[in-house]
Amino acid sequence: MPVLYPRCAIFRSVPPQVSSTSSGCAAIASRSRFILPPSPADSISLIFGEVSHLSGHLERRSLPGVGMLSFSAMMPASQHNRESLNSKVALVTGSAKRLGRAVALRLAQEGVDIIIHYRKSRAEAAEAVAEVEKLGRRAIAITADLGNVSEIKWLFDETSKQFGRLDILVNSAANFLSASMDSTTEEIWDASVDTNLKAPFFCAQAAAPLLRRTNGTIINFADTGGLLGWPGYIAHSVSKAGVVMLTKVLAKALAPEVRVNAIAPGTITMTGDPPEWEAGFRKLAPLGRSGTPSDITDAVVFLALSKFITGQTLVVDGGSTL
């Protein structure tokens, strides 16, 4: 049963226990039976010429008349020449369902412990926690109204209490309110700006002390409406354009300890969306299809691991904005 707190409910998972297997790999002893990847020691070196291992480094000496090609470690692309996300902690706003959940689960697959944030979708949040647990990672779900700055502060205070650190903040919570020039009301305007622009700023502000300690990263969610401007979604387009500029400003304000980037998805087809939508999307994108959740989650992982990128908005739209 969830433990109730003022303004929030938290679902906890039990941290998995680590044991060793006869193969030398580490195995997570949990309900999910999650197995960690083999260590780099299991990798293979391919050489032409002579290779000597000195002080943990490779010393290469060419033999007369023989060319040499050396690979220090033949590892999967996901592990070679980049830092792992394993054992980091991420808070993903709006991650009880749809694209936010997909982001949370992909990070869990990369070895990240997850805070599932939600506002009203309590049952879906509990399901998301269970899915993260199946991947062998720790997860909690916390509800908070991101339109209330005091609740945002509480959200990150609780994150600090539960995990003691934060490495990744993904500001994916958003609304998508349709309103033209004539039909935009004050309520629609305020709701769009509060959720899509105000909340990411105050989440970044509250997360900054934690992220500075871990040299962490913030990934905001803009969209192509913020780049092109959609007349049928005026308030939404303006709020997402603000996210692009917010990303630049935060990147400067939080450097060098914290990197800040954004993703601007094009049209993403989710499970349950009307199948006839896809035919229209094919006509808009040069790549001939709509996006999938994995297209976006790949971008999230890329930005989380890219140590020399900050202040940028990565457009993931199949070329539809060209």
Active site residues: 233, 240
Residue 157 and residue 144 in contact, taking contact as beta carbons nearer than 8 Å: no
Residue 100 and residue 172 in contact, taking contact as beta carbons nearer than 8 Å: yes
The bridge status of strand 313-316 relative to strand 259-265 is: parallel
Burial 155-183 (b: 16+ CB within 10 A, else e): bbebbeeebeebbbbbbbbbeebebeeee
Sign of CA dihedral 216, 163, 106, 194: negative
Tell me whether residue 100 is exposed, middle or buried, using C-beta atoms within 10 angstroms of its C-beta: 0 to 12, 13 to 18, 19 or more: buried
Encoded tokens for 128? 């998301």
Residue 116 and residue 93 in contact, taking contact as beta carbons nearer than 8 Å: no
CA distance 65 to 322: 51
> Dihedral through CA 297, CA 300, CA 305, CA 307, nearest 10?
160
How many other C-beta atoms lie within 10 A of the C-beta of residue 55? 5
CA distance 219 to 260: 6
Residue 173 and residue 96 in contact, taking contact as beta carbons nearer than 8 Å: no
State residue 152 phi and psi, 5-degree precision.
Answer: -60, -45
CA distance 104 to 108: 6
SS3 310: coil
